[in-house]
Structure 1
Amino acid sequence: MTEAARKLLSILARLPGGASQADLARLVPGEAEAAGRLTTLGLIHVDEFSRRSAHPFIREYVSTALPLQPEELSRVIAHYGGLAALFGPRVGGTKGAEALELLRVELENIEAMLLEGLQRAEVQVVIDQILDLNNFWRFSGYGSSHVVAKARTVAQKRGDRLREALCLQVEGQILLERSSHREAEALFRKALPVFKQADPELSEKRSTLGYARCIRGIGSIALDGQRLDEAESSFQQALHLFEKVGSPLSEGNCIHCLGKVGLERGLLQEARLKFVEAKHLFERLEDRLGRAYCLRNLGELDASPALLEEARTLFSEVGNLRGQAHSIRCLGNLALKRSALDDAQALYEQARPLLKRVGSLRGEANCLMGLGNVALQRSQPEIARVHFEEASQLFERVEDKRSLAQCERHLETLRS
């Protein structure tokens, strides 16, 4: 076996997701010839996309019998950590969809190498690369928060208060998006005093931003729980902190959140003004994601399919599957209102698996409730009952008492 073949096989032994030819070519000179030899020997498989992989049994044996040299492993860790650092922050931006797809394909390898990197000397860089994946994890539903939790433990042991707090914040944000509200709130509250322990001379702005994002996260949980005074207070507090450190994008997010509070209170004009204010700010900043959120809310207020379609397109372009799915669901609501039952059903059925994918239990429940209402209008009581019962179970899990009561009223009517 040539040195290039040995190195290629040893690298693939550390990569659970296989690897692209382009990535391996950067890591192994003479990769193409080496891959041909290993394929002939039956040690690796090359698929129709030229992606190389080794069978788990071979990977297990090679990782022990032919381990990578420390400097070789460092290069692999740096490569996949670099993908996280480069493409993670792009999710939610102009080319977010492309970034999300690349990260999705390489996620197993990226997470494996980041966990490996947490055991090495350059751990601060690795933790920052993990934090760079925040938008990807939140918007796509792929991966889990265990990598962030591991990074938090490492930062805590090293006495790195800033990175410990940032890991708590990001872990909380991921769990919030995946409907684990109690766990998310506990993490946000745990992060607050840790941010205050970080060295202000080295990281005051970063600490303040993280602290404010935790306050905003607590506000989002209060909003979902219909604790509207607490939500408003949290958003106002976070807004003040964002203004203090000069983060206009985050200010826009808080203004948008205050609009959602107004919407929940039934103050439609007040909500509209907040959404429009936030939209103008996002447009000035050329932030397409923030603009998409505002368009979706304005589309709901105005019962405008055009605004909701525009929001859906923007969410798709920036790589936010969650926002895309909710826009589709809202289009289903409009179709139901105009009694376009086939359209409504198709839209709910399109949105539901996406919402399940990203962990939005409330969104999935709303689709089920919509499908129940479609069945009611078609005089299909048994189908409606099944959908309302499934929706009730999800609403109960997220403690959405108002929506749960709506489902129970429908079920009571069906029983009578």
Structure 2
Amino acid sequence: MAWSSPIELWPLGPAETEAMFCAIAGEEHRGKPALSTLLSLQEGVPLAIELLAHAAQGNDLVNLKEEWEARRTAVLEREGGARDRLRSWNASLELSIGSPRMTSEARRLLAVLAVLPDGVAQRDLAAVIPDAGPAAARVLAHMRLAYFEGGRLKMLSPVREYVKAAHPPAAEDLGQAMAHYGELARTFGPVPGTPGGTEATARLAPEAANLDGVIRRGLEEAAAGRWIEAAVALTHFARFSGHSAPMPLGRALEVAQRAGDERRAALCTQSLGDIALSHSQHDEARARYQEALPLHRQVGDVLGEASCIRSLGDIALARSQHDEARTRYQQALPLYRQVGSVPGEANCIRSLGDIALACTQHNEARARYQEALPLYRQVGDVLGEANCIRSLGDIAQAHSDAGAARARYEEALALYQRIPEPFSIGWTHRRLAAIAPDSAIRRRHIEAMRSAWHSIARNDLIAGLDQDFRS
């Protein structure tokens, strides 16, 4: 099949992409893993695929991929003849960028868009280019240098790679964009896991790569402190949203350590521990907390010290090391009271109740939960309140009072869903499935459990559900 060379930036589908490449480069490349990787980097752009296919003639695909990693769109040049729009990707793009139809504002947005892998939400265009964002977006879409999809202005990878290298954004425009995304991280990052978490996650999830890239750029600045804090602010997003990667947190820790900033280094280290603990990576979490603890003490951060000690107790409790867990909670409790942290105090009291429950000391456990419950309600800590109520359900279930247990679990479930907190939603559905009055209700809880854990990629928890809940 012969292929022409239209200047067209709208992507082809995967089958068309492979067929076009192999028609030029040779059928021996079809189906090879390296080809799939190379083609995905071109995002289906016809001219980019054609020029890449010519570069593959007589070449090894692994070698070509390494060349792409080193030279990017400079690979998309045909040897011999004039450097025109059909033989050079860069020349083709320059014709569009230099077109009289392009405005100065469109060129400014083009440069900013190239450093934002997720593109720009339409709602953010005016914030990124305050004087003319929507009008500039219209021009870029008309010139096919960008396109609208799902409420976002996006740029295909081959276009982005060239523009990023050849047309970097002006310092003022880049600073404006970085300030906007940094504020998004600081404002919405801490919210998942609390009321409003659904909206915060919906705001941040489409921006994950943008936030990562912007914060990493900020971390290279001389005054990187606010960007370290932006990375830390995303901890709850990473814990509760299913976006499990710590994003730029590891890099933020390196920058803080290099600067001798013990306070921020402690915050980064503790946050990495929190993320590891939320994924039941107990060895990693414990190492992080043990590393953060002396740093908190050195800078006099009593709240940070208490939180690390309590989290070490959580790890011990998860491993049924009850004596160690009890000691940790008893150490943390007066520190929380010293700084007036009601949520911290409530967490320690509830966790002491968890130890009593694990040791079948139900009266003590009930008393601890009932002591912690009003503290959580006092500060509006929905997650803590839900945890207490669910544990009271566990006590009822231990006493074979299925009706009371079910009522407590349903009450807790409604609270978890307000946040939302998929990990605990799944575990509560598991409890409800275990005491379901009939098979239809049991199946409903099993599917809800599966859906909750799937949303945070906890396949380890999903495994074995069918075997555990055979009808």
Is the TM value for this pair above 0.5?
yes
Partners of 1:21 and 1:310 in 2: CA distance:
39
Decide which moves more: 349-358 or 24-33: 349-358
Decide which moves more: 232-241 or 132-141: 132-141
Contact 2:193/2:419 (<8 A) preserved:
yes
Partners of 1:322 and 1:95 in 2: CA distance:
17
Alignment match, 1:281? 375
- What amino acid is aligned across from residue 42 of structure 1 in structure 2? R
Task: Let me know the Cα RMSD of the aligned residues.
Answer: 1.8
Partners of 2:236 and 2:341 in 1: CA distance:
17
Cα distance change, pair 329–105 in 1 and its aligned pair in 2 (3 A): farther
- What amino acid is aligned across from residue 374 of structure 1 in structure 2? F
Alignment match, 1:20? 121
- What amino acid is aligned across from residue 44 of structure 1 in structure 2? A
State the shift of 1:89 in Å: 2.3
The equivalences for 1:302-381 within 5 A come to: 302=396, 303=402, 304-335=405-436, 338=437, 340-358=438-456, 360=458, 363-364=461-462, 368=464, 371-375=466-470, 378=471
| 2:331 counterpart of 1:267 | no
Q: Tell me the matched-pair count.
A: 362
- What amino acid is aligned across from residue 227 of structure 2 in structure 1? V
Alignment match, 1:40? 142
- What amino acid is aligned across from residue 245 of structure 2 in structure 1? S
Cα distance change, pair 359–75 in 1 and its aligned pair in 2 (3 A): same
Partners of 1:88 and 1:123 in 2: CA distance:
18
Q: Which blocks of at least 5 consecutive residues in structure 2 are unaligned?
A: 1-101, 397-401
- What amino acid is aligned across from residue 347 of structure 1 in structure 2? H
Cα distance change, pair 149–334 in 1 and its aligned pair in 2 (3 A): same
Alignment match, 1:161? 262
- What amino acid is aligned across from residue 51 of structure 1 in structure 2? R
TM-score, normalised to structure 1, is 0.82
Cα distance change, pair 287–147 in 1 and its aligned pair in 2 (3 A): same
Alignment match, 2:313? 219
State the shift of 1:42 in Å: 1.1
The equivalences for 1:10-409 within 5 A come to: 10-28=111-129, 29-47=131-149, 49-198=150-299, 204=300, 207-302=301-396, 303=402, 304-335=405-436, 338=437, 340-358=438-456, 360=458, 363-364=461-462, 368=464, 371-375=466-470, 378=471
Q: Structure 1 or 2: larger helix share?
A: 1
Partners of 1:145 and 1:50 in 2: CA distance:
26
- What amino acid is aligned across from residue 132 of structure 1 in structure 2? A
Alignment match, 2:74? none
Partners of 2:329 and 2:439 in 1: CA distance:
38
Contact 2:386/2:412 (<8 A) preserved:
yes
Partners of 1:54 and 1:212 in 2: CA distance:
46
SS state of the match for residue 114, structure 1?
A: helix
State the shift of 1:240 in Å: 1.6
Choose between structure 1 and 2 for higher RCO, CA contacts under 8 A separated by at least 6 residues.
Answer: 1
State the shift of 1:156 in Å: 0.3
SS state of the match for residue 245, structure 2?
A: coil
SS state of the match for residue 144, structure 2?
A: coil
State the shift of 1:373 in Å: 3.8
Deviations 1:39-82 (A, max 9, x none): 121111102x4311000111111111110122222221111110
SS state of the match for residue 52, structure 1?
A: strand
- What amino acid is aligned across from residue 348 of structure 1 in structure 2? I
Cα distance change, pair 228–362 in 1 and its aligned pair in 2 (3 A): farther
Partners of 2:358 and 2:393 in 1: CA distance:
16
SS state of the match for residue 170, structure 1?
A: helix
Cα distance change, pair 147–11 in 1 and its aligned pair in 2 (3 A): same
State the shift of 1:5 in Å: 0.6
Contact 1:12/1:53 (<8 A) preserved:
yes
State the shift of 1:362 in Å: 6.7
SS state of the match for residue 252, structure 2?
A: helix
Deviations 1:92-151 (A, max 9, x none): 333222112211222221122111111113311111121112222112221412521111
Partners of 1:346 and 1:227 in 2: CA distance:
35
Contact 2:244/2:275 (<8 A) preserved:
no
Partners of 1:72 and 1:182 in 2: CA distance:
43
Contact 2:127/2:177 (<8 A) preserved:
no
Alignment match, 1:401? none
State the shift of 1:230 in Å: 0.5
TM-score, normalised to structure 2, is 0.73
- What amino acid is aligned across from residue 217 of structure 2 in structure 1? E
SS state of the match for residue 89, structure 1?
A: coil
SS state of the match for residue 336, structure 2?
A: helix
Partners of 1:16 and 1:169 in 2: CA distance:
28
Aligned sequence identity (%): 36
